[in-house]
């Protein structure tokens, strides 16, 4: 594992730890006194795609909150599902060229602009 520490002019530290594959395994932020402010842990599936992130918030070096985001990928490595805090689920659909086509959640449906066969956006006339 490789660990890199960055210190800003105010003395705040960001400690990045990488796994054997060179991917970020954790990020820890500390204040100028060296107390942990936040920490993120990253997990990957066997294909190397990000599968989970656990984010923790600290106050006076004590954990006061935690949230988790998980991702599911298709065989092309594209995100097909995102689950935040075990409650907010977002689904992603892709067109035949692998471009994101639609993003769906319980509260909304977002369809992205249609594209011409060449991959350029189609002109939609306005009045």
Domain boundaries of the chain, sorted by first residue: 2-111
* pLDDT (0 to 100) of residue 126: 43
* Burial category of 30 from C-beta neighbours within 10 Å (exposed 0-12, middle 13-18, buried 19 and up): buried
CATH of domain 2-111: 2.40.128.720
* pLDDT (0 to 100) of residue 52: 98
- pTM of the prediction? 0.77
pLDDT at residue 49 greater than cutoff 90: yes
Per the CB < 8 A criterion, the answer to whether 21 and 8 are in contact is: no
What would the pLDDT profile of 1-22 be if each residue is shown by its tens digit?
A: 799 999 999 999 999 999 999 9
Distances (CA, A) of 113 to 37, 50, 78, 99, 100: 40, 27, 19, 11, 10
What would the pLDDT profile of 87-118 be if each residue is shown by its tens digit?
A: 899 999 998 888 888 888 775 566 655 545 55
């Amino acid at each position: 594992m490789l660990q890199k520490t960055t210190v800003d002019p105010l003395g705040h530290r960001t400690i990045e730890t990488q796994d054997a594959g060179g991917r970020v395994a954790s990020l820890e932020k500390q204040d100028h006194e060296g107390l942990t402010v936040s920490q993120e842990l990253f997990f990957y599936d066997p294909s190397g795609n990000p599968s989970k992130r656990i984010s923790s918030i600290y106050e006076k070096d004590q954990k006061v909150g935690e949230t988790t985001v998980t991702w599911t990928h298709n065989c092309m490595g594209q995100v097909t599902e995102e689950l935040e805090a075990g409650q907010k689920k977002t689904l992603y659909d892709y067109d035949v060229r692998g471009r994101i086509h639609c993003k769906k959640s319980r509260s909304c449906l977002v369809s992205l602009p249609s594209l011409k066969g060449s991959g350029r956006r189609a002109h939609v006339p306005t009045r």
